[in-house]
Structure 1
Amino acid sequence: MICFSAENFQNLEQRRSLRRSRFHLIPQRTATPEFREDRVLRLRNQVGDAPIILRICRIGAYYRSSILQTFELAKLLREQGITVSAVILGVVQDELVLEEIMSLRGREDFVITDPAMTTNAAELLPVADAVVGTGRNLVEAAMAGVTLFTPLAESQLPAAVTGHNWRDLAATNFSERNKLAIAQSPRELATAFLRADATIARTIADEYSIEAAIRRYATVYESDQSTHHHPVDFILNASAVIVSVTRSRRSS
């Protein structure tokens, strides 16, 4: 059985009903988006010239916390004299949540729900100076080489993704369930934004690229001699993974 996150791997491995199963952790599942310069320029014209902290997500109860953390990060940076705008880009799932975040955003911030922008939104990632991301969206942002933040559970501010903490955050799939043993200070968050160091983005992009997964799937099939998989099985399964990832990206 293939698991996409350490969280799922650990949970499934502990189930007695699955004790005869073999589990493999292969987190690589993200294809590099097609970045569209024409769409990036259109969005940039809409929001102005200020540096952008981008959050791409559906606007609903599940992502409410990460949206508010994005606003709080932008507010924190502005309080430290850093010009920045938070841009929330997504399809509306809950009108009440939309109403709430519209009332809480700063005057420099934007909430964009236009389907012309929300369709294939990953194509717009290069517009951002930083992204508050979760799951596949964070990995796609890493592929765009931008500064990475991710939401934290029970927090008003997101975490800056660094070389020291990224594996801990990856264990919860860079999700709203993220936790850090030691909270980052406002100064650390501002420094991460200003440094714009793409090193960690390159590390995560390399770690989670679907291209790397093909090699690992091949290793799984080659090592599982007891099931006598035919090579065609590998081709079909690998193709299914790539098609699934591509369709998922296009629908986001």
Structure 2
Amino acid sequence: MERLSIVYFIFATGKANGGHYRSLALTAEHMAKYHNVKIIVLGYTYSHIIQDAPVESQFVYFNGLNISSALRKIKACIDGNSILHAFDLYAFFIVRLLRLKLGNKIALTKCGGPNPKGYFPKVRNLVLFSQEDFAYFSVIPRYNSSKLYLIPNRTEDFITDTTKVEEIKNRFNLHTYDKVILRICRISRMYQKSIVQSIHLHQYANDQGCKTALIILGNVQDQGVIDQLKNDLPDSVFFLTEDRYTANAKEVIEVADWVVGTGRGFMEASAKSRVMFAVSMQDDLPMLIGTHNFDQAFAFNFSERIIFEKQHIVDNRIDIIKLFSKAEHEASVKKQSLVWFKEYFSIQGAIEKYGSMYKDLLDDTKDDKDLVLHWFKFIRANLGTWYRELRKLVK
């Protein structure tokens, strides 16, 4: 196997601990077994997830205006033979500029989220995590000459931090409950719907006679959301927001019996053979995932945009009751969850696909107008960050 030089790029701001940072860290770690790999973090903060990854990495401050200085620092450590692969739109802006100067082969990964409603850059090599995105870009004339690669998000098995799990169990007296539900996400308006559905699941299970606790685990990004959510909640709903638990939240998944998951979080919970729920577009309860509806959820990368069949929504409440009324049914669901992890979510399958892709990349085209539009997109998206950074300096 030819050993390639691959440089990954990602843009970071705030705590920089979202799922796509973990996806990149894991992908780079495994690609480094076969190729020369480096990660360059652009933006305002050096993501601790990338720093902690067993791969060479570098931070370059970039705010959209200091283009020359950022390019100068990056060019000092790469050459025209390196493949440049961005894991978000903002990092891809710098990658496009580097291609113009050095002639590199380049690629972009759209890690998830809804289909773009506004500007999305021209790109010849585009990696997509979901069938939803693949179907969308396949019919857009702008990408007729592009290569689209469907490489779903992947994860790997990992070690549970039993000390933290016991801490949480003792802190919330979880041994007094029949079932524990877990939702791991940033506490913000973006994930409010999934949190609300988790609360409804908790309420429904309790109403049906199953004494259930719910843990919402994640960083608080919008205090107004958590204040609103806490109104009139029972004592058996717990918010866990300390960095000790949120920094690597997957380590405590086994504190729960049931997990309401999205994207990468769904896959990580399946690795621990949990009962899995996905957010439903049509109902106030999350959907219990089984063999009958797995494909629908997988097509949308287990996002909050899944549209389930009407009969599945009707049957969902009965299926939930079976979880705690028939022990063998819950055991079967948990077993199937682990099967999905091994068949669909393991990282090794993705590594093989990336290796094939890098050998077959198309040359990107020069489009000055689109590059300017890309820069405007970056500037507009970063106005809020500029304001917050300026306030810090004033203080």
TM-score (norm: length of structure 1): 0.83
CA distance in 2, matches of 1:169, 1:151: 9
Show structure 1 runs of 5+ residues with no match.
Answer: 228-252
Contact 2:287–2:316 (Cα < 8 Å) also in 1: no
| Residue of structure 1 in register with 2:207 after alignment | 79
Contact 1:3–1:23 (Cα < 8 Å) also in 2: yes
Q: Deviations over 1:74-112 (max 9, x none)?
A: 111111111110111111111111011111422212111
CA distance in 2, matches of 1:61, 1:104: 19
CA distance in 1, matches of 2:297, 2:340: 11
Contact 1:91–1:115 (Cα < 8 Å) also in 2: yes
CA distance in 2, matches of 1:216, 1:16: 25
| Residue of structure 1 in register with 2:319 after alignment | 188
Q: Which has the larger radius of gyration?
A: 2
Q: Deviations over 1:1-24 (max 9, x none)?
A: 322111111111112111112222
**Greater share of strand:** 2
| Residue of structure 2 in register with 1:39 after alignment | 164
1:202 aligned residue (323, 328, 338): 338
1:17–1:109: structure 2 CA closer, same or farther, 3 Å change rule? same
One-letter identity of the residue aligned with 2:339: T
2:309 is the counterpart of 1:172? no
| Residue of structure 1 in register with 2:221 after alignment | 93
CA distance in 2, matches of 1:66, 1:110: 15
Contact 1:160–1:192 (Cα < 8 Å) also in 2: no
1:118–1:28: structure 2 CA closer, same or farther, 3 Å change rule? closer
RMSD: 2.0
Residues 112-121 or 126-135, more deviating: 112-121
Q: Secondary structure in 2 aligned to 1:54?
A: strand
Matches within 5 A, 1:1-252: 1-48=126-173, 49=175, 50=177, 51-182=179-310, 183=313, 184-192=315-323, 195-196=329-330, 197-206=333-342, 207-220=344-357, 224=360
Provide the aligned length of Structure 1 versus Structure 2. 226
CA distance in 2, matches of 1:208, 1:185: 24
Q: Secondary structure in 2 aligned to 1:44?
A: helix
CA distance in 1, matches of 2:164, 2:296: 34
Show structure 2 runs of 5+ residues with no match.
Answer: 1-125, 364-395
CA distance in 2, matches of 1:165, 1:103: 33
Q: Deviations over 1:90-149 (max 9, x none)?
A: 111111110111114222121111222222111100111010000000000001110000
Contact 1:71–1:106 (Cα < 8 Å) also in 2: no
CA distance in 2, matches of 1:98, 1:63: 11
Q: Secondary structure in 2 aligned to 1:198?
A: helix
More relative contact order in 1 or in 2 (CA 8 Å, sep 6+)?
A: 1
